[in-house]
Amino acid sequence: MATTTGTARRRPRAKASGNGKSRNGKPRAPRAYPSPAERAERGKALRSETPRSSHGDWAPASKRPDPIALLEEQSASRVPELVPIRYGRMAVSSFTFYRGAAGVMASDLANTPRSGLQVQLCGDAHLSNFGGFASPERDLVFDLNDFDETLPGPWEWDVKRLAASLEVAARGNGFTAGRRHAIVQGSVREYRDAMHRFAGMKTLDIWYARIDETALAELLQGEAKPKQARRFEKVVAKARTKDSARAFEKLATTVNGDVRIVADPPLIVPIEDMLSGAEAKRFEREMRSMLESYRASLPEDRCRLLDHYRFVDMAHKVVGVGSVGTRAWVILMLGRDSDDPLFLQAKEAQQSVLEPFSGKSRFDNQGRRVVEGQRLMQAASDIFLGWLRVKGLDGKMRDFYLRQLWDWKSSADIEVMPPKGMLAYGRLCGWTLARAHARSGDAIAIASYLGSGDKFDRAIVSFSDAYADQNELDHRALAGAIDSGRVHAMAGV
């Protein structure tokens, strides 16, 4: 990142018109407010157009795009030196491949049945994109935590992405077919049951619904063994220490009185190692302009909070699996002194992988697309969540969203989960996804479409089993592309 543009600056708020007309002077169309009974009838009627059992069908399209070509297409806009790390991480297992193949699955989901009911989608709702983090009230909450692909679209796509991830992960853990299918069906049933509960709730009650530390503990007490409950307590205790102060201990040092981020190439590369001395100094001066642009995307109280910090250093950081190769920065700021650090992460936001199939975002800034989608789907969002558009070191304009690097962030260790633990976790994810969808979509219509029986649940089990087979074939295709030299992978990074 280098210079900024003012696209994130606040625009004057449009004055409300009292004459029943829109800002362009045309009469406003009256907004329809169907009754709960009418909404339920709509959902039920959609079953005849798209039977619930049809969601179980999966077979690759006759002209299905080459999955490796889709990955290469994504890689074209990423940092070339980091793309081999992405392929290396995806090649580790079928599950890591699945994590990085959101674009491949989006292309496949575009050809699957849909009810016609829309919600704000996560776009990449696999089970590793759920986890714990701190709410602004300093409670540990469980929620979706990755929104790089968020966009309005068919609610079924998120459900299928989650369900298939459970099947893929359960296969990786060596579970029997019966246990795998029970895990997937349990998660989808929880989504359906939760959607029915949300359909009967008041609007504000849906908005306030969340899973906090107490709810998590109660769930584990009822679902898991004492050993797993103790493990949960350790995870919570560790999460509470994972903040900017801990990040400072791990990522920063003091050199001749100056605080700097420690280099760990190619995973962490400080800006002073990427630019010459004069260029680095110029870049630091430009940071003020960049932070001012970001500041304009925050509510006024957060702006005042940010003003208490000063920029110190920044570094490029490799993150995740599917995100590897996109431009991600960590920004170190200090408040009162070096014992008062704030680490922000600025992550590049590119076009959602859903856009070719679900429609263009209404936001021209992809960072804002991510932020607005996250705020809509999460029960609580990071207080520093914002966006900006900047000119990169290559001279191209790029969109970013910003948030705290660590704020009690925790995630489940999927690879060591026993069957009962994954069943409980899958149910947790199912409830969370239903809550996220109910905030933006028509919970009554979706619940009515799903019905009280398990027809949809069983269909998604069939879909997940078939799609996991396809994912294994795609994973082997990546391994073959690496072996043939078509793509270069860097293992163990």
Q: What pLDDT score was predicted for residue 392?
A: 72
Give mean pLDDT, residues 9-25. 47
Helix (H, G, I), strand (E, B) or coil at 310: strand
Tokens read off for 208: 């306030």
Instruction: Decide: 386 and 303 in contact? Cβ < 8 Å.
Output: no
Per residue, what are the HEC states of 313-360?
A: EEEEECCCCCCECECEEEEEEECCCCCCEEEEEEEECCCCCCHHHHCC
Contact predicate 287/235, CB 8 Å: no
Bridge-partner residues for 347, per DSSP?
328, 401
For residues 322 and 237, give the distance between their C-alpha atoms in angstroms, rounded to a whole number.
28
Strands of the sheet with 397-404, listed across from one edge: 268-270, 310-317, 328-334, 341-348, 397-404, 386-391
- Alpha helices in 318-394, H assignment, sequence order: 355-358, 366-377
For 56-81, the three-class secondary structure string (H helix, E strand, C coil) is HCCCCCCCCCCHHHHHHHHHCCCCCC
| Burial group, residue 8, by CB count within 10 angstroms (0-12, 13-18, 19+) | buried
What is the predicted pLDDT for the residue at 275? 81
Q: Kindly list the distances between the CA atom of residue 163 and the CA atoms of 56, 186, 268, in Å, as whole numbers in the listed order.
A: 12, 10, 34
- Dihedral angle at the C-alpha atoms of 329, 334, 339, 343, nearest 10 degrees? -20
Residue 13 predicted with pLDDT over 60: no
Average pLDDT of 258-274? 91
How much is the pLDDT for 212?
A: 87
H or E element that contains 459 = helix 455-484
pLDDT at 28 > cutoff 70: no
Does the pLDDT of residue 189 top 50, yes or no? Answer: yes
**Helix/strand/coil for 31:** coil
> What are residue 146's DSSP bridge partners?
none
- The first and second tokens of residue 476, run together, are 């082997």
Average pLDDT over residues 173-190: 98
The 10s digit of each residue's pLDDT in 318-344 is 988 888 878 899 999 999 998 899 999
DSSP three-state, residue 380: coil
DSSP SS3 for 125: coil
DSSP structural state of residue 230: H
Q: Is the pLDDT of residue 233 over 70?
A: no
pLDDT: which is higher, 135 or 216: 135
State the pLDDT at residue 10. Answer: 45
If we measure between CA atoms, which residue out of 107, 70, 77, 145 comes closest to residue 324?
77
pLDDT tens, residue by residue, 144-165: 999 999 999 999 999 999 999 9
Mean pLDDT of the chain: 89
Which pLDDT tens digit goes with each residue over 51-88?
999 999 999 999 999 999 999 999 999 999 999 999 99
pLDDT digits (tens, 9 = 90+) for 338-390: 889 999 999 999 999 999 999 999 999 999 999 999 999 999 999 999 999 98
Of the candidates 334, 350, 330, the residue with the CA atom closest to the CA atom of residue 404: 330
- The helix-helix angle for 455-484 and 177-199 (nearest 10°) equals 120
Residue 18 pLDDT: 45
CB 8 within 8 A of CB 293: yes
Burial (CB < 10 A; 0-12, 13-18, 19+), residue 186, is: buried
Taking the C-alpha atoms of residue 170 and residue 184, their distance in angstroms, rounded to an integer, is 9
**Region of poorest pLDDT, from 25-34, 55-64, 215-224:** 215-224
Count the neighbouring beta carbons within 10 Å of the beta carbon of residue 445: 25
How many other CB atoms sit within 10 Å of the CB of residue 17?
11
Which residue intervals of 348-418 are DSSP H helices? 355-358, 366-377
- Torsion angle of alpha carbons 32, 36, 39, 40, nearest 10°? -170
> Is the separation of the CB atoms in 446 and 116 below 8 Å?
no
* pLDDT for position 8: 45
Query: Token pair for residue 267?
Result: 């995973």
Tokens linked to 13: 């708020």
Q: Can you tell me the distance from the alpha carbon of 64 to that of 50, in angstroms, rounded to the nearest whole number?
A: 23
- Residues 311/259, Cβ–Cβ less than 8 Å: no
Q: Tokens 């157009």 identify what position?
A: 49
**Structural contact between residues 390 and 220, judged by C-beta atoms closer than 8 angstroms:** no
Note the helical H segments in 80-130: 83-90, 94-100, 102-109
Q: What's the confidence (pLDDT) of residue 14?
A: 41
- Give the confidence band of 228 by pLDDT, cuts at 50, 70, 90: low
Any residues with CB less than 8 A from the CB of 405 and at least 6 apart, and which? 244, 247, 330, 343, 344, 345
DSSP 408: S
Q: What is the pLDDT of residues 399-447, one digit of tens each?
A: 999 999 987 888 888 998 999 989 999 999 999 999 999 999 999 999 9
Q: What is the pLDDT of residue 273?
A: 87
Question: Residue 231 has what pLDDT?
Answer: 66
